[in-house]
Amino acid sequence: MIKKTMKLFIIFLLFSILLGGCNAASDKEEPVITISVAGSLIPVMAELEEAFYDTDPGFTIRFNYGGSGSLKQQILQGAEVDLFLFASLQHTEDLQEQNLVHEELLVNLLGNRLMLITPKDQESVQDFEDLLKEDIRRMAIGEPDSVPAGAYAKESLIHYGVHDGIQGALIFGKDVRQILTWVETGNVDAGLVYESDALSSDKIHKVVLANEDSHTPILYPLGVLKDTEHMEEARILFEFLLEAKAKEIFESFGFTVNSNRQDVLR
C-alpha cells in the first residue's frame, strides 16, 4: 500500500513539474522594444502601431515620446532605448559622435514643413509680417535650444525679418504638440508648428507655409542603437517603417517620405 502510494505521488510530482514547465514556456513574456520618437509624430505613430501589430511581429513596442533634444539626452545618460526617430539631424549626429548608432541601420526617413497658425477667431494674421501687429501679444514656438521645431521656427522668423520685433511676445513650448494646444485654446495669438501637426487639427486657422529656404531642411532620421539587446526585433521594426504601407500612412498625415534607402547619415 505504501509503495503504491509512493508511486502515485512520484507520478503526480513528475506531472506537476512537466505542467509547470509548459506553463512557464507559454507564459514567457514577449520582448519589449523601445523607440524614442519626436512628439510631432504622436498621431501618425498610433496608426503605424496598429498596422505593425497586424503583421504579428512577436514582440511589443514601447513608445517614448518627447522633444528630440530631451530624448537624445536620455540616450546619452544610458536610457534603455532600441531605436529612435528624431526631428533633428543635429541630435542624431551628436549620438553618432559618441559611436552609439548602428551606421547600417540609419536613414533620413521623413521630411516636413513649417506652418504659421492662429486661433480660428484670429483674422489679423495673413502672413509672417503681420506678426508685428500690436494685437499679436503672444507668439509660440518651440524652445530653440532643445526643440528642433523651435530652431527651425527661429530661423524662419529671422528670415522674414520679424524675429527681433516680436522678442517680447515669444513664448517657448516644450514640444510642437504643446504649441498646437496653446493655439487651439486661444492661449496664444499665433504659433509655428509642423505642417503635419497643423493638418491634424480643425480647431486652428492655417495661415501660411514657411518657404523651405527660410530654414534648415526638416528631416527625421530613423536609427537603431548599437547597444540594443534586441537587434533582430529592432531591425524588423526599422524595416517596417521603410515599407510601402508605412509610407502610405506617413504621407496621409502630411509627411514626405524619403524613398531612397541609400540616403544614410554618415
SS (H, E, C) 147-169: CHHHHHHHHHHHHCCCCHHHHHH
Q: Output the pTM of the full model.
A: 0.79
- Could you tell me where in the chain the CATH 3.40.190.10 domains are found? 32-112+218-257, 114-214
- Which CATH number describes the domain made up of 114-214? 3.40.190.10
| Architecture per CATH, 32-112+218-257 | 3-Layer(aba) Sandwich (3.40)
pLDDT at 6: 52
List Cβ neighbours of 31 (8 Å cut-off, separation of 6 or more).
Answer: 58, 59, 60, 230, 233
> What pLDDT sits at residue 3?
53
CA distance 109 to 250: 10
pLDDT by residue for the chain (266 residues), tens only, comes to 555 555 544 554 454 555 455 444 445 588 999 999 998 899 899 999 999 999 999 999 999 999 898 999 999 999 999 999 999 899 999 999 999 999 999 999 999 999 999 999 988 999 999 999 999 999 999 999 988 999 999 999 999 999 999 999 999 999 899 999 999 999 999 999 999 999 999 999 999 999 999 999 999 999 999 999 999 999 999 999 999 999 999 999 999 998 655 454 44
Please report the pLDDT score of residue 39 as a whole number: 87
Cell numbers linked to 200: 491634424
The answer to whether 92 and 264 have CB atoms below 8 angstroms apart is no
